[in-house]
């Protein structure tokens, strides 16, 4: 299994979630985060914005769905300007469902 | 070292913390998150309090409110390789009600752990 952490624009959260649900991946978690990328924030006039509010979407999927999930997120979260976000993929060794006590997603 | 991420019900946090302490794992991180599982969050947050509402609410909610974000707590705990099974057991025992929405547990391998205060790395840095 793989864990995808996608940092997206907050207003794109529901768009991405809906697109993932359409693609058969309805389960995900969102959390509100603050951060910046390689532009180190932006300066508008006298005001410097060091960090921006973003949404971190976290989902765990089977290996064979990884490419599909990534392409869905890339398409739905894209606006074409700076700050669209990043996607990170990590390995997940085991998963358990608490209500049944079973192994697997 | 392994990182155990578990998504649980909000009101189960004190019980889970107590269970962790009793089992000898006092260190953990708690995050407030929102999410949904493969049922698409039917029942909404009300079903967190009373699981019976899952059936009632899913019948009443229309299609456009089908996708709900349900508030959950994300507990992150880092343990040694041979402690994973015990911790998973502790989490399941403390959180299992048998209804949907009890949560998920994910076990993630960690490459490196560093204790900031002393600079220790690897196994020594865990707890």
Please tell me which of the candidates B34, B104, B109 has its beta carbon nearest to residue A30. B34
Query: Which residues from A are below 8 Å from B8, CB to CB?
Result: 98
- Tell me the shortest Cα–Cα distance from A55 to chain B, in angstroms: 11
* Range among A33-47, A56-70, B35-49, B53-67 with highest mean pLDDT value: A56-70
- Spell out the domains of chain A, with CATH numbers in brackets: 2-103 (3.30.70.120)
Write out the CATH class of domain B2-125: alpha beta
Residue A32's pLDDT is what? 94
Query: Which residues from A are below 8 Å from B36, CB to CB?
Result: 26-28
Residue B67's pLDDT is what? 62
Query: Distance (Å, rounded) from C-alpha A46 to C-alpha B86?
Result: 55
Residue A105's pLDDT is what? 83
- Tell me the shortest Cα–Cα distance from A15 to chain B, in angstroms: 12
CB pairs under 8 A between A and B: 86
Residue A41's pLDDT is what? 80
- Tell me the shortest Cα–Cα distance from B118 to chain A, in angstroms: 27
Residue B25's pLDDT is what? 92
Give every CB contact of residue B116 below 8 A, 6+ residues apart in sequence.
none
Residue of B nearest to A29 (CA): B35
**What is the average pLDDT score of chain B?**
87
Kindly determine whether residue A98 and residue B95, on different chains, have CB atoms separated by under 8 Å: yes
pLDDT, one tens digit per residue, over B52-108 is: 777 777 666 655 556 678 899 999 999 999 999 999 999 999 999 888 888 999 999
What is the mean pLDDT of the segment spanning A45-70? 92
Domain boundaries, chain B: 2-125
Q: What is the pTM of this model?
A: 0.88
Cα–Cα distances (Å) from A35 to A3, A9, A50, B61, B120, in that order, read 20, 11, 8, 36, 28
What is the mean pLDDT of the segment spanning B97-124? 91
**What is the average pLDDT score of chain A?**
92
């Amino acid at each position: 299994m793989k864990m995808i952490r996608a940092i997206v624009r907050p207003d794109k959260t529901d768009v991405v979630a809906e697109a993932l649900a359409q693609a058969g991946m309805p389960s995900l978690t969102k959390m509100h985060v603050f951060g910046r990328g390689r532009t180190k924030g932006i300066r508008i006039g006298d005001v410097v914005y060091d960090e921006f509010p973003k949404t971190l979407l976290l989902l765990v999927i089977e290996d064979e769905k990884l490419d599909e999930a990534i392409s869905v997120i890339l398409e739905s979260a894209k606006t074409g300007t700076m700050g669209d976000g990043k996607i990170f993929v990590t390995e997940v060794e085991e998963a358990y469902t608490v209500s049944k006590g079973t192994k697997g997603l | 070292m392994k990182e155990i991420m578990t998504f649980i019900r909000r009101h189960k946090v004190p019980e889970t913390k107590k269970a962790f302490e009793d089992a000898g794992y006092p260190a953990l991180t708690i995050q407030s998150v929102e999410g949904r599982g493969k049922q698409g969050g039917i029942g909404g947050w009300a079903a967190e309090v009373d699981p019976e509402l899952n059936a009632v609410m899913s019948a009443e909610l229309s299609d456009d409110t089908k996708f709900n974000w349900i508030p959950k707590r994300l507990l992150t705990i880092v343990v040694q390789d041979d402690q994973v099974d015990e911790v998973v057991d502790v989490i399941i025992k403390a959180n299992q009600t048998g209804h949907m929405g009890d949560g998920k547990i994910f076990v993630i391998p960690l490459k490196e752990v560093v204790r900031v205060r002393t600079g220790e790395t690897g196994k020594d840095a865990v707890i």
